[in-house]
Structure 1
């Protein structure tokens, strides 16, 4: 979920507890945790609202001075529904961090990672070459790595996110590097 940079601090400190989104269809589910640029957030409630029925208290909880300001900032097609999201910052660290730092892999861990990578490769192999290029060229822009592999940048970044979800890579300010788990996996497979 994309969150405007101006809201990051407020979400992190808990002063922003509402967001409004205009979507063709609901994009989040109440009770789920989402990773965002503002950190991990938990969506507590998702309610469809009419822009004309947005309350001042909710507009202020979303970081706006008025309901008019909140409505004016809605993006998307005017005919699409507007959703009010109540949220709070997630407690604790991102579980991917703990996973990425777990370098003590058993043979069953290696087999499970291999099985999951094979599933990701079902529509064409990419996982091994992506891990290899990140290992060889840490902290290199995603666009440069993608070009080296003859790929478009956006799908490449999406694929690296899948590897990160398995705890195999870490995102840096610029580019990526293998996590301790990723390094151990490549050494043991």
Structure 2
């Protein structure tokens, strides 16, 4: 579930606490959570609704200045069922702190190497991907995918796994190594050095 930047601002300020979506299958569930650019949302009630049930107050709580604008926005995607999703900002994304944690001892580096080895089970890609990202901030998924001979969407899924380890972060366009990634990359792959070959 994605949000436009002005909606994220409203969530951060506590004004936006509802969303409405057309889904063939819900992508969030009651009691779950959702990571966003501003932090983690705690998901409250998620239920199927009829669009005619939406009130003016609910439209405002979803970040729209009128019910009509919300209904028009929902009409852009008519397939599936309309859902009403309650949420609130529950805290920062834990990956933010992880990305900044660059004080890894040898045990921590070894644990990261073991995690990367698991990611490489079906074919080595982590060292090359991290090297490409380390060489230039903003390197795009398309560039990395082309260099590695991987389909772009598959590459994006792989990069998300590196993000989970706190090694990379997304920019407006492309990726860069996080503080943690910059410090530990040469220790993870000593033969690679700082942006050298793998």
**Which TM-score applies when normalising by structure 2?**
0.80
**Residue 13 (structure 2) pairs with residue 17 (structure 1):** no
Distance in 1 (CA, whole Å) between partners of 2:29 and 2:11 is 18
Q: Deviations over 1:144-169 (max 9, x none)?
A: 23322233333323322210110111
Unmatched tracts of structure 2, length 5 or more: 189-198
Q: Deviations over 1:53-94 (max 9, x none)?
A: 22332122112344443233214344x222111122233x32
Pairwise CA distance, 1:181: 2.3
Contact kept in structure 2, 1:96 and 1:165, CA below 8 Å: yes
Residues 7-46 of structure 1 correspond to what in structure 2 (within 5 A)?
Answer: 7-37=7-37, 39-46=39-46
Distance in 2 (CA, whole Å) between partners of 1:25 and 1:3 is 18
Q: Deviations over 1:116-155 (max 9, x none)?
A: 2222223322111111111222333332233222333333
**Residue 71 (structure 2) pairs with residue 71 (structure 1):** yes
Distance in 2 (CA, whole Å) between partners of 1:183 and 1:61 is 41
Residues 8-157 of structure 1 correspond to what in structure 2 (within 5 A)?
Answer: 8-37=8-37, 39-74=39-74, 75-78=76-79, 80-91=80-91, 93-157=92-156
Distance in 2 (CA, whole Å) between partners of 1:24 and 1:174 is 30
Secondary structure at the aligned position of 1:90 is classed as strand
Distance in 2 (CA, whole Å) between partners of 1:151 and 1:169 is 18
Distance in 1 (CA, whole Å) between partners of 2:162 and 2:70 is 37
Residues 175 and 70 (structure 1 numbering): CA distance in 2 closer, same or farther, change over 3 Å? Answer: closer
Pairwise CA distance, 1:187: 2.8
Indicate the RMSD between aligned Cα atoms, in angstroms: 2.3
How many pairs align? 187
**Which TM-score applies when normalising by structure 1?**
0.83
Contact kept in structure 2, 1:5 and 1:38, CA below 8 Å: no
Distance in 2 (CA, whole Å) between partners of 1:138 and 1:84 is 38
Secondary structure at the aligned position of 2:83 is classed as strand
Contact kept in structure 1, 2:132 and 2:139, CA below 8 Å: no
Distance in 2 (CA, whole Å) between partners of 1:155 and 1:14 is 35
Pairwise CA distance, 1:170: 2.4
